Chains A and B, each alone.
Chain A
Amino acid sequence: MAAVSQLQRQFIDYTTSLYNEGYLDDQFTQLQQLQDESNPDFVVEVVSLFFEDSEKLLNNLATALQQKSVDYNQVDSHVHQFKGSSSSIGAKQVTNVCIHFRNFCEAKNLDGCLRCLQQLRHEYILVRTKLEALFRLEQQILQAGGSVPVME
């Protein structure tokens, strides 16, 4: 089993890369700072909610954009929700796509919307994969008897 310090180093490097590559922003750090002894699983809890919410919204968006007569207000409402959730956990790239998506909704541009939906799905899957890897690293550290480093 890898030494705790090695795992901790890995965790720090991985987390730093997520910020540097623009997947996460400071809001994620804020969430981590809210985690304490009385709320030990806070980040996983909020992020899991985000995953659930996102899957639902992606389905809703696909359905809404497949209608013969697209209701752009409805589409916009889903994207707005998505933007709210993604910005709450600091999923920066996802939030950025939502902003563009809303512009296409306002312009009632179907092509633009469909492209954004594809991008949104792509960015969501990326950030989900990265966060799941991060949580796995955390578990490894805890199981090895160490504590998870707190990022500043």
Chain B
Amino acid sequence: MDGNIWIESEGVGKGSTAIFYVKLGFPARLNEFQLPHLRLQSKPGQTGFPGLKVLVIDDNGVSRTATKGLLVHIGCDVTTVSSGEECLRVITKDHKAVFMDVSLPGAESYNLARRVHGKFPKRHEKPLIVALTGNTDKSAKENLLRVGMDAVVVKPVSVEKMRIALSELLEYRKDVHGA
């Protein structure tokens, strides 16, 4: 199912709703866009992601450390970088997800998604790209999805929100990439 995911929350401790756009239909018509979106209530899903190799890009040291702490707490094997250039140098096909803080300067974050996809032309090697943003504006979110992000997660990110997001993303990935 080709589609996109974003996670909304009214705030930490107030529950999360995962919103999915899924493309359903015949394989030949994968460009068909935005059939009615499904609103799924948060379900337990995976609670830990032992050894899941992920990359965090954030030019803010405090925010980067906090995001790393969160991902380590749920079991991920986390690499951190502070720029797009560093990301492209360091990323390997073993990284299953990239968490990109989209307040990176200028258009860097947008170009980065494209360049990461370009680096891994084989579908099953592509990492999931998750935008982390403080911007709750719907059009901004849709824009991010349009430029190649697989999902948008709105900050602040709680442990629960991250668990749900990763859980759903990995399920989505299995469907799309079979891995």
Contact = CB atoms under 8 A, between A and B. Distances in A.
Contacts of A30: 12, 70, 156, 158-159
Interface string A74-90: 00010011001101110
Contacts of A27: 12, 156
Interface residues of B, number: 20
B73 A46 contact: no
B51 interface: no
Nearest to B101: A84
B70 A34 contact: yes
B156 A46 contact: no
25 contacts: A26-B12, A26-B13, A27-B12, A27-B156, A29-B13, A30-B70, A30-B156, A31-B66, A33-B73, A34-B69, A34-B72, A34-B73, A36-B73, A46-B62, A46-B66, A46-B69, A49-B61, A53-B61, A77-B105, A84-B62, A85-B61, A87-B63, A88-B63, A88-B65, A88-B66
Contacts of B72: 34, 38-39
Interface in B128-179: 134, 155-156, 158-159
Contacts of B103: 80, 84
B134 to A, nearest CB: 7
Interface string B1-35: 00000000001110000000000000000000000
Contact of A84 (B12, B63, B69, B105): B63
Interface size grouping (class) on chain A: 20 to 34
A30 B162 CA distance: 12
B66 A89 contact: yes
Contacts of B70: 30, 34
B156 to A, nearest CB: 5
Interface string B58-77: 00111101100110110000
A49 B73 contact: no
Contacts of A87: 63, 134, 155-156
B61 to A, nearest CB: 6
A45 B65 contact: yes
